[in-house]
């Protein structure tokens, strides 16, 4: 979708800033807010570039770097941590050959950490985009990731 | 304002309601610690230091954001307050590099001040202190450094950039421990939209933002900025006979402490090693040093043989009034000619010609600080934030107070960010735009008929000429949608007080005087002149261009705009100067060069000007200068024009002399000697007096600039009461008729200064610019200014930092034009007109509309005025530097 089409869904009010940034990020094929995205949002909301940059860098759900098609968010909150999420993270890192915050060379996956996903009964857990995957103690990560192309 | 009773720490105080607790405490000498407060800024209360307790209210409240109320009982100290302050302060310190003795702000640091008052628990602090990774200092800006490691994130710099400067380069970025003051994209300052004004540096309470090359001065002296016509007051710091610092005078009504990048950081040219220090005489094509006696003897001998019609003087809008007075007196009284002119001819000659006809005076009708209270500001043909940055700040302040801003400019200039309406007329079509607006005003009966009837004349002739302008034609010629013309007209006519600002975009046309007359018609039509915050305001370009005009460095008037053609005036000056004077109007700037070409003028005396770069069709000027028998250049640097001289006389800069500059609002302000001149450089008036004496003249026995001003008081009635002892602190605005006259804040209050006291309407018709685009030369070239340079950059390019911030000329061109020509950004192209060619890199930008390209004229490597056309306005003789036709060629086609 053209950026202008995305913006049209919202009134140019300051209170819509976060919704607009989310919509622009979702609309971006690389799952991030490019400088062009930020500038067009600033102009639409009649605010300054530096202000919109401040907002976008404040919230961890926004990325200013291109990300993979699928974002893996491994829960690192206390319950998952007690169920050894550290090991899960290490396994995923090994499997995808990336560090936390990085993206695979084929731009498929980005690995991030997340606060509680609300699925403590299935700890340790993670999200891949909108899908929640739990009980990760002894799983074959490769076969999970193969479902996401 | 209503008064309230408050008790602070047991003291009964009376305060104005609406003031904050912090303000009231500070005014009464009660200290409340604070870090993020600054009197110029809206309080945010984010440092949590100014906590106080108010009886009857729970917990602690923030003093900087809470207004006082009647019978409020306030405590500034308690155990709880101490604990909160101390804890907060320790948290700030835990992230702050402890490098006080080596810090630029040592002893002036607010964090030190607050720490001394509040105290910290060292043991606890040490346990809190984290080894934060060092962030590299941002050294990208040539004038100041940003050291994040000392930043206390008080936000004063961010708010200054937003609220004072309106640039919005900074905001908080990231969060938690990672929070930093950040530009968009967290780029370096130089890569951001920062305008390097340094206002944030001045206000930083700690050492996070500090000037690079500034030293603490031995002493400070107040003087006036030498760049533009705003006339900002500056305290210059002096150490070891050098200028080492500059700070704005917060008490000045002109700039209120604020300065632009040139004013604050652009003074180092004074100390430059290339300053002229000895007279130079050209012998066998080479300049050789000479002593003053030899140089003045030669000048006097040569001038003696070219008196009268053979002689011309180009005086200077950069030198003080006293120097201009002596120079024009020398030309008239000694050389026997009225042919003395200066660069006002190239900027505001149509303003003087036009406004004198319609109002009786060619100056700004209002004062600068009146802009702030205008309800509508209409800026046409003025790139205010670049050419008059501090007036730009007044406009932004007005906007914040709710004023509506109309900008009429062919380009989308920076000021458009603040505009409610942007009228993007095609260059050269201003008359049509203005007449279109007036048509709307008359058709909708929005005119001020009382004002027209009581204060103006010749209205009917004007109305007849107005009928030819229907809105469809206006839209077609100007390319401005007619709805916008209507909207702007209604706003200007109804949302009063309306103030109109204009500059070179109006004047530098072959119909410049018509443009100015159209403006004066518009102001009279709506009754928007002769009132506070409402008038017609030409922004003068050079620091003393107003003064040079006032002093009669013009071919048709003596000092104080007294016409040379009026016998009684001539008689008065003959009597005062004790000589016979020439009754003929002299030649103008452009005519002087024509007469040199024809062999009529043999000798030229030029002070502080650089026509080889500043004159339209500069190639013509170069050819002509070669024809002179004798050419004297008096300057502070070896300019591009100085190469053509026979004798070069080294003059003092503004920093080395006493005198006065008159700023754009007619305010005569004191210029003071700050340092000794380099080498043997002399004051301009001393040099001119020296030549006069060698020629046997009397009346040039001045001992000081003040003695010259005494003579000016006698002969120029509008300067009658302007005495040095009256302007030591605050300048006086002319007319100031005698020593008790308070000066004049705004002109034409009850009557216009024209004979008869009425304003005059003028019928106007549209004349197209002299050279319009055609098949061969399809684009319009218009000229502009950069914030970082001044005029031909003789001074500004000798300031390393200004040079770094704007290193080269760039041709602004619209993406659609660039596409058509298959040009890339920063591609080297050749710009050709019928008169010359310039090679320059492109800057593809929407700032320029399709069909219009833009260049400045600051760079001698790319002399823009070799392209411009010397088509002159018949009345004021100004050349049309704002419109000419050009073509662009890809440079690789030209490489042979």
Chain B neighbors of A45, CB-CB under 8 A: none
CB–CB contacts below 8 A, A to B: 40
B755 found inside a domain: no
Strand B884-890 vs strand B828-832: parallel, antiparallel, or unpaired? antiparallel
Q: What is the mean pLDDT of residues B746-763?
A: 93
Same-domain check for residues B325 and B362: no
Of B495, B521, B538, the residue that ends a domain is: B538
The whole-number pLDDT of residue B214 equals 84
B196 found inside a domain: no
B226 found inside a domain: yes
Of A35, A45, A48, A50, which to mutate for an interface test with B (greatest number of B Cβ within 10 Å)? A50
Same-domain check for residues B701 and B807: no
How many helices (H) and strands (E) would you count in chain B? 28, 37
Chain A neighbors of B174, CB-CB under 8 A: 57-58
Mark yes or no for CB contact A53/B171 under 8 Å: yes
- Using a 10 angstrom Cβ sphere, with 0-12 exposed, 13-18 middle and 19 or more buried, the burial of residue B410 is buried
Same-domain check for residues B20 and B43: yes
- Model confidence at B458, pLDDT cuts 50, 70, 90, reads very high
Q: What is the mean pLDDT of residues B142-150?
A: 95
Q: Which of B68-77, B282-291, B607-616 has the lowest mean pLDDT?
A: B607-616
Whether residue B409 is predicted with pLDDT greater than 60 in this model: the reply is: yes
Whether residue B170 is predicted with pLDDT greater than 80 in this model: the reply is: yes
Query: Which one of B170, B174, B175 has the shortest CB-CB distance to A50?
Result: B170
- B411-443 pLDDT per residue, tens: 999 999 999 999 999 999 999 999 999 999 999
Chain B neighbors of A57, CB-CB under 8 A: 173-175, 182, 186
Residue B169 in contact with partner chain A when CB distance is under 8 A: yes
Of B733, B768, B794, the residue that ends a domain is: B733
The whole-number pLDDT of residue B896 equals 42
The whole-number pLDDT of residue B99 equals 84
Whether residue B23 is predicted with pLDDT greater than 80 in this model: the reply is: yes
Token digits for B42? 């809206």
Q: How far is A20 from chain B (nearest CA, A)?
A: 18
Give the closest residue to A71 by CA, choosing from A133, A118, A23, A6: A133
Query: Which one of B168, B170, B173 has the shortest CB-CB distance to A57?
Result: B173
The whole-number pLDDT of residue B892 equals 67
Strands, E assignment, B190-334: 209-211, 219-224, 233-239, 242-248, 280-283, 286-289, 311-314
Mark yes or no for CB contact A50/B186 under 8 Å: no
> Which CATH number goes with the domain that contains B369?
3.40.228.10
Same-domain check for residues B507 and B606: no
Q: What is the mean pLDDT of residues B793-807?
A: 93
Same-domain check for residues B451 and B579: no
- B687-746 pLDDT per residue, tens: 999 999 999 999 999 999 999 999 999 999 999 999 999 999 999 999 999 999 999 999
Query: Helix (H, G, I), strand (E, B), or coil: what is residue B295?
Result: helix
Share of chain B above pLDDT 70, in %: 99
Peptide bond connecting B617 to the previous residue in cis, omega within 30 degrees of 0: no
Query: Helix (H, G, I), strand (E, B), or coil: what is residue B54?
Result: strand
Same-domain check for residues B532 and B482: yes
Query: Which one of B169, B185, B193 has the shortest CB-CB distance to A35?
Result: B185
Query: Which one of B168, B174, B175 has the shortest CB-CB distance to A50?
Result: B168
Residues for chain A: how many in total? 149
Share of chain B above pLDDT 90, in %: 92
Q: What is the mean pLDDT of residues B221-240?
A: 96
B674 found inside a domain: yes
- Number of neighbours of residue B379 by Cβ within 10 angstroms: 30
Q: DSSP code of B333?
A: I
Whether residue B764 is predicted with pLDDT greater than 60 in this model: the reply is: yes
Q: What is the mean pLDDT of residues B100-129?
A: 91
Mark yes or no for CB contact A49/B184 under 8 Å: yes
Torsion of CA B696, B698, B704, B705, to 10 degrees: -100
Which chain A residue lies closest to B176 (C-alpha atoms)?
Answer: A58
Mark yes or no for CB contact B186/A51 under 8 Å: no
Say if CB B35 and CB B47 are below 8 A apart.
Answer: yes
Q: What is the mean pLDDT of residues B403-411?
A: 97
Mark yes or no for CB contact B186/A53 under 8 Å: yes
The whole-number pLDDT of residue B895 equals 47
CA-only gyration radius of chain A, Å? 17
Chain A neighbors of B184, CB-CB under 8 A: 35, 38, 49-50, 52-53
**Residue with the larger pLDDT of the pair B209 and B131:** B209
- B356-400 pLDDT per residue, tens: 999 998 889 999 999 999 999 999 999 999 999 999 999 999 999
- B680-696 pLDDT per residue, tens: 999 999 999 999 999 99
Q: What is the mean pLDDT of residues B258-266?
A: 96
- Model confidence at B108, pLDDT cuts 50, 70, 90, reads very high
Cα–Cα distances (Å) from B459 to B423, B455, B456, B536, in that order, read: 27, 11, 7, 18
> Which CATH number goes with the domain that contains B265?
2.20.25.90
Chain B neighbors of A37, CB-CB under 8 A: none
Of A39, A41, A45, A48, which to mutate for an interface test with B (greatest number of B Cβ within 10 Å)? A48
Give the closest residue to B716 by CA, choosing from B537, B541, B563: B563
- Model confidence at A106, pLDDT cuts 50, 70, 90, reads very high
Same-domain check for residues B354 and B342: no
Give the closest residue to B320 by CA, choosing from B224, B253, B387, B238: B224
- Number of neighbours of residue B70 by Cβ within 10 angstroms: 11
Mark yes or no for CB contact A58/B171 under 8 Å: no
CATH number of A70-145: 3.40.30.10
Peptide bond connecting B794 to the previous residue in cis, omega within 30 degrees of 0: no
Same-domain check for residues B583 and B724: yes
Q: How far is A132 from chain B (nearest CA, A)?
A: 28
Same-domain check for residues B430 and B383: yes
Query: Which one of A35, A48, A54 has the shortest CB-CB distance to B173?
Result: A54
Q: What is the mean pLDDT of residues B291-296?
A: 96
B857 found inside a domain: yes
Expressed as residue numbers, the domain containing B700 is: 280-346+544-733
Query: Helix (H, G, I), strand (E, B), or coil: what is residue A112?
Result: strand
Residue B846 in contact with partner chain A when CB distance is under 8 A: no
- Model confidence at B894, pLDDT cuts 50, 70, 90, reads very low
Contact residues, chain A to chain B, C-beta under 8 Å: 35, 38, 48-54, 57-58
- Number of neighbours of residue B153 by Cβ within 10 angstroms: 19
Whether residue B124 is predicted with pLDDT greater than 90 in this model: the reply is: no
B430 contact partners, CB below 8 Å, separation of at least 6: B380, B381, B408, B505, B506, B509, B515, B518
The whole-number pLDDT of residue B868 equals 94
Same-domain check for residues B554 and B661: yes
Residue B172 in contact with partner chain A when CB distance is under 8 A: yes
Whether residue A116 is predicted with pLDDT greater than 60 in this model: the reply is: yes
B61 found inside a domain: yes
- Model confidence at A137, pLDDT cuts 50, 70, 90, reads confident
Which chain B residue lies closest to A42 (C-alpha atoms)?
Answer: B184
Q: What is the mean pLDDT of residues A115-132?
A: 91
- Model confidence at B132, pLDDT cuts 50, 70, 90, reads low
Mark yes or no for CB contact B193/A49 under 8 Å: yes
Mark yes or no for CB contact B172/A54 under 8 Å: yes
Question: What is the value of ipTM here, to two decimals?
Answer: 0.85
Query: Which one of B168, B172, B186 has the shortest CB-CB distance to A48?
Result: B168
Domain ranges of chain A: 3-58, 70-145
The whole-number pLDDT of residue B131 equals 67
> Which CATH number goes with the domain that contains B33?
3.10.20.740
Whether residue B880 is predicted with pLDDT greater than 90 in this model: the reply is: yes
Q: How far is B854 from chain A (nearest CA, A)?
A: 25
The whole-number pLDDT of residue B893 equals 52
Mark yes or no for CB contact A57/B183 under 8 Å: no
The whole-number pLDDT of residue B213 equals 85
Chain A neighbors of B192, CB-CB under 8 A: 50
What is the average pLDDT score of chain B? 94
Mark yes or no for CB contact B171/A54 under 8 Å: yes
Q: What is the mean pLDDT of residues B627-641?
A: 95
Chain A neighbors of B169, CB-CB under 8 A: 50
Query: Helix (H, G, I), strand (E, B), or coil: what is residue B670?
Result: strand
Those of residues 174-213 in B touching chain A at CB distance below 8 A are 174-175, 182-186, 192-193
Torsion of CA B147, B153, B155, B158, to 10 degrees: 40
Mark yes or no for CB contact B174/A58 under 8 Å: yes
CA B662 from chain centre, in angstroms, equals 13
Task: Provide the number of structural domains found in chain B.
Answer: 5
Q: How far is B185 from chain A (nearest CA, A)?
A: 7
Same-domain check for residues B354 and B496: yes
Chain A neighbors of B168, CB-CB under 8 A: 48-51
What's phi and psi for B71, nearest 5 deg? 65, 25
Of B106, B128, B150, the residue that ends a domain is: B128
Cα–Cα distances (Å) from B540 to B663, B781, B796, in that order, read: 8, 23, 18
B209 found inside a domain: no
The whole-number pLDDT of residue B125 equals 85
B239 found inside a domain: yes
Q: Which of A87-91, B121-125, B404-408, B832-836 has the lowest mean pLDDT?
A: B121-125
Mark yes or no for CB contact A53/B169 under 8 Å: no
Cα separation, A68 vs A65, whole angstroms: 10
Mark yes or no for CB contact B171/A38 under 8 Å: no
Same-domain check for residues B555 and B602: yes
Q: What is the mean pLDDT of residues B52-62?
A: 95
């Amino acid at each position: 979708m053209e950026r202008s089409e995305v913006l049209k869904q919202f009134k140019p009010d300051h209170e819509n800033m976060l919704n607009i940034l989310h919509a622009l990020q979702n609309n971006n094929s690389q799952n991030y807010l490019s400088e062009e995205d930020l500038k067009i949002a600033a102009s639409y909301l009649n605010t300054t570039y530096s202000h919109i940059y401040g907002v976008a860098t404040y919230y961890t759900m926004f990325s200013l770097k291109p990300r993979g098609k699928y974002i893996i968010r491994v829960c690192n909150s206390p319950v998952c941590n007690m169920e050894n999420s550290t090991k899960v993270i290490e396994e995923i890192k090994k499997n995808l050959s990336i560090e936390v915050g990085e993206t695979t060379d084929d731009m498929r996956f980005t690995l991030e950490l997340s606060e509680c996903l609300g699925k403590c009964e299935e700890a340790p857990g993670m999200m891949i985009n909108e899908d929640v995957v739990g009980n990760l103690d002894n799983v074959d990560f490769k076969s999970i990731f193969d479902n996401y192309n | 304002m209503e008064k309230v009773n408050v008790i602070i720490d047991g003291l009964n105080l009376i305060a104005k309601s609406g003031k904050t607790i912090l303000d009231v405490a500070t005014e009464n000498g009660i200290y409340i610690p604070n870090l993020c407060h600054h009197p110029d800024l809206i309080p945010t209360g984010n440092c949590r230091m100014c906590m106080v307790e108010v009886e009857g209210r729970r917990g602690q409240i923030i003093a900087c954001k809470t207004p006082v109320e009647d019978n409020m009982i306030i405590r500034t100290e308690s155990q709880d307050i101490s604990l909160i302050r101390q804890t907060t302060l320790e948290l700030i310190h835990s992230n702050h590099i402890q490098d006080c003795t080596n810090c630029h702000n040592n002893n002036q640091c607010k964090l030190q001040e607050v720490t001394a008052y509040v105290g910290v628990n060292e043991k606890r602090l040490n346990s809190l202190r984290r080894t934060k990774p060092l962030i590299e200092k941002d050294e990208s800006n040539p004038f100041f450094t940003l050291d994040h490691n000392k930043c206390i994130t008080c936000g004063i710099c961010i708010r200054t950039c937003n609220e004072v400067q309106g640039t919005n380069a900074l905001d908080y970025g990231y969060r938690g421990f990672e929070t930093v003051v950040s530009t968009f994209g967290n780029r370096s300052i130089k890569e951001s939209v920062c305008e390097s004004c340094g206002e944030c540096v001045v206000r930083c309470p700690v050492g996070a933002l500090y000037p690079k090359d500034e030293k603490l001065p031995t002493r400070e002296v107040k003087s006036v900025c030498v760049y533009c016509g705003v006339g900002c007051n500056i305290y210059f710091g002096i150490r070891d006979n050098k200028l080492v610092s500059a700070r704005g005078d917060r008490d000045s009504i002109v700039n209120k402490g604020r300065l632009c990048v040139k004013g604050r950081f652009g003074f180092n040219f004074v100390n430059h090693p290339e300053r002229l220090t000895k007279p130079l005489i050209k012998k066998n094509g080479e300049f050789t040093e000479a002593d003053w006696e030899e140089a003045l003897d030669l000048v006097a001998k040569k001038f003696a043989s070219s008196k009268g019609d053979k002689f011309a003087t180009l005086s200077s809008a950069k030198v003080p009034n006293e120097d201009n007075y002596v120079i024009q007196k020398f030309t008239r009284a000694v050389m026997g000619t009225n042919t003395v002119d200066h660069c006002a001819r190239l900027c505001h000659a149509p303003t003087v010609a036009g406004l004198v006809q319609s109002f009786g005076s060619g100056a700004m009708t209002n004062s600068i600080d009146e802009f702030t209270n205008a309800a509508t500001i209409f800026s046409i043909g003025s790139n205010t934030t670049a050419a008059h940055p501090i007036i730009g700040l007044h406009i932004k302040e007005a906007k914040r107070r709710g004023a509506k801003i109309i900008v009429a400019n062919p380009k989308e200039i920076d000021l458009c960010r603040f505009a409610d309406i942007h009228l993007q007329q095609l260059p050269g079509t201003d008359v049509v735009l203005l007449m279109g607006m007036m048509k709307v005003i008359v058709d909708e009966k929005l005119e001020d008929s009382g004002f027209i009837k009581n204060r103006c004349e010749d209205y009917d002739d004007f109305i007849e000429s107005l009928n030819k302008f229907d809105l469809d034609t206006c839209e077609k010629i100007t390319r401005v949608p007619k709805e916008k013309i209507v909207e702007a007209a209604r706003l200007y006519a109804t949302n009063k007080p309306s103030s109109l600002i204009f500059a070179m975009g109006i004047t530098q046309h072959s119909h410049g005087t018509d443009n100015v007359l159209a403006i004066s018609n518009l102001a009279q039509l709506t009754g928007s002149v002769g009132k506070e915050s409402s008038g017609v305001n030409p922004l003068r370009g050079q620091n003393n261009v107003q003064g040079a005009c006032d002093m009669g460095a013009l071919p048709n008037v003596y000092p104080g705009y007294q016409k040379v053609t009026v016998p009684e005036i001539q008689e008065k000056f003959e009597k005062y100067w004790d000589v016979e004077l020439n009754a003929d109007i002299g030649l103008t700037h452009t005519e002087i060069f024509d007469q040199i070409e024809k062999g009529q003028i043999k000798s030229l005396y030029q002070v502080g000007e650089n026509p080889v770069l500043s004159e339209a069709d500069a190639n013509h000027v170069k050819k002509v200068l070669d024809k002179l028998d004798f050419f004297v250049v008096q300057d502070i640097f070896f300019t591009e024009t100085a190469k053509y001289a026979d004798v070069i006389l080294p003059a003092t800069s503004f920093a080395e002399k006493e005198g006065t500059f008159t700023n754009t609002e007619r305010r005569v302000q004191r210029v003071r000697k700050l340092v000794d001149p380099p080498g043997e450089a002399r004051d301009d008036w001393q040099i001119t007096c020296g030549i006069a004496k060698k020629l046997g003249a009397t009346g040039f026995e001045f001992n000081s600039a003040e003695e010259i001003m005494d003579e000016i008081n006698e002969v120029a009635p509008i300067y009658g009461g302007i005495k040095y002892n009256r302007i030591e602190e605050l300048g006086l605005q002319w007319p100031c008729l005698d020593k008790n006259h308070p000066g004049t804040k705004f002109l034409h209050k009850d009557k216009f200064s024209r004979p008869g006291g009425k304003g005059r309407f003028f019928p106007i018709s549209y004349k197209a610019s002299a050279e319009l685009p055609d098949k061969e030369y399809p684009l319009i070239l218009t000229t502009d200014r950069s914030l970082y340079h001044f005029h031909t950059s003789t001074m500004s390019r000798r300031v390393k930092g200004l040079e770094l911030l704007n290193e080269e000329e760039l041709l602004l061109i619209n993406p659609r034009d660039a596409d058509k020509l298959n040009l890339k950004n920063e591609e080297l192209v050749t710009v050709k007109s019928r008169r010359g060619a310039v090679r320059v890199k492109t800057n593809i930008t929407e700032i320029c509309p399709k069909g219009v390209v833009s260049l400045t004229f600051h760079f001698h490597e790319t002399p823009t005025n070799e392209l411009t056309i010397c088509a002159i306005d018949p009345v004021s003789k100004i050349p049309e530097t704002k419109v000419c036709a050009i073509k662009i060629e890809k440079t690789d086609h030209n490489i042979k």
